[in-house]
Structure 1
Amino acid sequence: MNKTVLDVAIIASGIVGYFISISLVTTSFYRNRANNYLSLSLFLLTSLTLLGWFDVVDTVLEVLDNPVWEYLCGVTLFTYFLIQMQHEYLQKSWYKWLYLPFIAAFIIETILYVNAVFNFYDSEYYDLMFFIMDNTSFLYNVFLIFWGRKLIKDAAISEDKKRWLLRLNLFIIGIIMCWLLSSIEFYILNSEYATNLMWIVLSILSWWILYYGVFRLQIVVQKEEIHQYLVAKTTNGTQIKKKISEDTVSKITNQLYVLMEEEELYKNPLLSRLDLATRLETSEGYVSQIINQETNKSVIQFVNEYRIEAAKELLHNPVFNKYSLEAIGMEVGFKSKSTFYSVFKKSLGMSPGAFRKLQKGPNS
């Protein structure tokens, strides 16, 4: 019964893995150069998981259950990391040599396969060659994944993106450790408990990547693109900003408007009353008191009003139609999709999606 449940779980995860790998290269929301490599990596990992678990032999699918693809999987994942970091290694002439082990393994495997069919020479060393290729691929993947981890830690990228890349890297390290344990167990103890654990971990990876690795990271990437566009517009002097209120009485409040409108402090999702008080060189209580007296709003209402206005500008601009609502919410300072939707609807009486559709017109 337990085996049947695991079979069903791994088949389901395999379907998800293939679905994600195809979606990454066919859906405009996800399609980019980095995700092309992630798609190939996930396709290979999914194939190795399914074929390894069910021990498919003597079928056309057996070609995918081969150590050769383990070499390619490591390189494509490493390339995915480099592209996400926009690392200079991608421009180096030696970078393409990282694919050499895969090419060499493919040639060797082809020669062995042809010989197995036509018996050109004695193939008594086939098992030895397979053993060497299998373990060499393990060492090569260990080298690439730890090298990639070091590069990620040193990369000058956003914390959100770095966090995701390190998590994915750590997950792959976990798979490699299971891989090592399974090899030790198979050759020394002649059992397969660790091997089964590795297949299960690989199947979980498909589900994990679906949300955190694909959707969440894509939101972060879109948020960064929006931010870069707005920075460029500001640099060119064409960004239209809100005017500072001339009706305020307090010097503190005028300073607060400057912080919001010139420094866009509201875009910090972790902005607190203490942060405002520190920047204004006063107490938290006084900040709350003065905002309430002069705007009749709480601190969070005051900050969210700026966020909503900024979101309205982005939703109204057709340039940002290709970006998700969540990415826009993150760019203007909301910590989550639910908070953005709730505050926006309370303020305007409609959801961000309805507001965007309204700006596009009735025929959109």
Structure 2
Amino acid sequence: MITTLGDIAIIASIIIGYFISIALVTTRFYKSRANNYLALTLFLISSLALLDIINPESGFLSFLYFVMIELLIAVTLYTYFLIQIQHVYLTRPWYKWLYLPFICSVIVETILHLDDIFHLYESDFAVFVFYAKDISTLFLNVFLIFWSRYLIKKSNTISKDKRRWLLRFNLFMMMIILCWFLSSIEFYAFDSEYTVDYLWILVSFLSWWVLYYGVFKLQIVVQRDEIHDYLVSKKTDTTAPKKKIKPTTTSKIIPQLYVLMEEEEVYKDPLLSRLDLATRLGTSEGNISQVINQELNKSVIQFVNEYRIEAAKKLLHDPVFNKYSVEAIGMEAGFKSKSAFYSAFKTNSGMSPGAYRKLQETS
């Protein structure tokens, strides 16, 4: 029976975990090799939580409960990180040996469960094996999660945004492993499982986190990277706004500013600030704001966003990029968030980016 909020949170996390797992492998937007391993990881974690609630004492479910699914979770999660950073370890012969501990656990547990029929061993032996597997499982998870974090930090094959998302996800998994470690200490030292409740509640938050940050937001970053790589490989000016007609100005700053925007495309940096522009132009923030306002009759952010919107419009108009989400296109154009992109685009064009895309498709 459900008697506590913790139980409700655990059951909710199980349902969400299964839902996300299915969505990752069936939805076109999320489908990828990396997400297949993430889906398997979430499926295994959800199954582990379900078995913990059921707490089976015999039969096939009991076998699954004691087979140490955690050994498989460690490897699938590690594989997910390797695929995301495109690491060469995936092609190394020794990589497949990481599955050996889980295979050994299955074999050992199969032998132990034969006791239900043949009574082949003493019960003390089974207890010893359980403790040995529990400790080795914890060690493997700790080792692989720290190893993957080290590889993510050292990787030069991913963007800063993608590295940030992966490190956040990795940190969250570290928190879960820490909670698991504390629950193990509590179990062995005090024969109590109070901390386990906090472990599964933390896992429930993980399910929500993975749904938004670990999957959706990361997928947006992946799409943005694909758009960027495509544009670089084709060496086109697909996203470059048309050259603006330079107004007659009395300040030397304006022509230099156009060069920064049209040749260096500094507007694509979502963190671009007045200070950055002022530093590049060798002037002060106040001066650059005053010059743009007086000579172009607009603010600095309006001036920069005009370039970003023009870049986004070109991507939205090009059918090559129809498979990518509107948010990914906004990020490639230089907008920091979906809300900032939608607000600026609607103010400039009188319609949302999605409506603009549909209008171009039907015209």
Q: TM-score category by the smaller chain?
A: over 0.9
Matching residue of 1:9 = 9
Q: Would you say the 8 A contact 2:63–2:109 is kept in 1?
A: no
- For residue 123 of structure 1, report the CA deviation from its aligned partner: 4.8
- For residue 122 of structure 1, report the CA deviation from its aligned partner: 2.9
Matching residue of 1:78 = 78
C-alpha distance in 2 between matches for 1:35 and 1:83: 9
Q: Cα–Cα, structure 1 residues 65 and 304, in superposed 2: closer, same or farther, change >3 Å? A: same
Q: How many residues align?
A: 360
C-alpha distance in 2 between matches for 1:231 and 1:315: 17
The range that moved more, 314-323 or 101-110, is 101-110
C-alpha distance in 2 between matches for 1:240 and 1:330: 15
C-alpha distance in 2 between matches for 1:56 and 1:361: 58
- For residue 237 of structure 1, report the CA deviation from its aligned partner: 7.2
Q: Which amino acid aligns with 2:227?
A: I
Q: Would you say the 8 A contact 1:245–1:257 is kept in 2?
A: no
- For residue 40 of structure 1, report the CA deviation from its aligned partner: 0.7
Matching residue of 1:307 = 308
Q: Would you say the 8 A contact 2:67–2:109 is kept in 1?
A: no
The range that moved more, 82-91 or 3-12, is 3-12
Matching residue of 1:108 = 108
Is 1:91 equivalent to 2:95 in the alignment? no
C-alpha distance in 2 between matches for 1:143 and 1:136: 10
Q: Secondary structure at the match of 1:65?
A: helix
Q: Cα–Cα, structure 1 residues 202 and 243, in superposed 2: closer, same or farther, change >3 Å? A: same
Matching residue of 1:122 = 121
Matching residue of 1:245 = 245
Percent identity, aligned pairs only, is: 63
CA RMSD, Structure 1 to Structure 2 (Å)? 2.0
Q: How does 1:172-187 map to 2 (within 5 A)?
A: 172-187=173-188
- For residue 67 of structure 1, report the CA deviation from its aligned partner: 4.0
Matching residue of 1:132 = 132
Matching residue of 2:330 = 329
C-alpha distance in 2 between matches for 1:248 and 1:108: 82
Matching residue of 2:39 = 39
- For residue 206 of structure 1, report the CA deviation from its aligned partner: 0.8
C-alpha distance in 2 between matches for 1:53 and 1:160: 37
Is 1:150 equivalent to 2:150 in the alignment? yes
Unpaired segments ≥5 residues, structure 2? none
Q: Secondary structure at the match of 1:121?
A: coil
Q: Secondary structure at the match of 2:272?
A: coil
Q: Would you say the 8 A contact 1:248–1:254 is kept in 2?
A: no
Q: How does 1:256-295 map to 2 (within 5 A)?
A: 256-295=257-296
Matching residue of 1:170 = 171
Matching residue of 1:232 = 233
C-alpha distance in 1 between matches for 2:359 and 2:45: 44
Q: Which amino acid aligns with 1:106?
A: V
C-alpha distance in 1 between matches for 2:245 and 2:56: 71
Q: Would you say the 8 A contact 2:239–2:314 is kept in 1?
A: no
Q: Which amino acid aligns with 1:74?
A: A
C-alpha distance in 1 between matches for 2:205 and 2:293: 50
C-alpha distance in 1 between matches for 2:361 and 2:87: 38
Q: Which amino acid aligns with 2:311?
A: A
Q: Cα–Cα, structure 1 residues 208 and 59, in superposed 2: closer, same or farther, change >3 Å? A: farther
C-alpha distance in 1 between matches for 2:5 and 2:239: 57
Q: Cα–Cα, structure 1 residues 345 and 237, in superposed 2: closer, same or farther, change >3 Å? A: closer
Matching residue of 1:22 = 22
- For residue 69 of structure 1, report the CA deviation from its aligned partner: 1.2
Q: Secondary structure at the match of 1:191?
A: coil
Q: Which amino acid aligns with 1:53?
A: I
Per-residue deviation, residues 150-192 of structure 1 (Å, max 9, x unmatched)? 1112122322222222222222222222222222211221111
The range that moved more, 58-67 or 343-352, is 58-67
Q: Would you say the 8 A contact 1:17–1:206 is kept in 2?
A: yes
C-alpha distance in 2 between matches for 1:24 and 1:60: 28
TM-score normalised over the length of structure 2: 0.93
Q: Cα–Cα, structure 1 residues 102 and 242, in superposed 2: closer, same or farther, change >3 Å? A: same
- For residue 230 of structure 1, report the CA deviation from its aligned partner: 1.5
- For residue 144 of structure 1, report the CA deviation from its aligned partner: 0.8
Q: Cα–Cα, structure 1 residues 68 and 338, in superposed 2: closer, same or farther, change >3 Å? A: same
C-alpha distance in 2 between matches for 1:233 and 1:349: 32
Q: Would you say the 8 A contact 2:224–2:332 is kept in 1?
A: yes
TM-score normalised over the length of structure 1: 0.93
Q: Which amino acid aligns with 1:122?
A: Y
Q: Which amino acid aligns with 1:180?
A: F
Is 1:193 equivalent to 2:194 in the alignment? yes
- For residue 145 of structure 1, report the CA deviation from its aligned partner: 1.0
Q: Which amino acid aligns with 1:193?
A: Y
Q: Cα–Cα, structure 1 residues 232 and 16, in superposed 2: closer, same or farther, change >3 Å? A: same
The range that moved more, 86-95 or 283-292, is 283-292
Per-residue deviation, residues 247-266 of structure 1 (Å, max 9, x unmatched)? 34343211111110111111
Q: Cα–Cα, structure 1 residues 189 and 334, in superposed 2: closer, same or farther, change >3 Å? A: same
- For residue 59 of structure 1, report the CA deviation from its aligned partner: 5.7
Q: Secondary structure at the match of 1:43?
A: helix
The range that moved more, 285-294 or 296-305, is 285-294
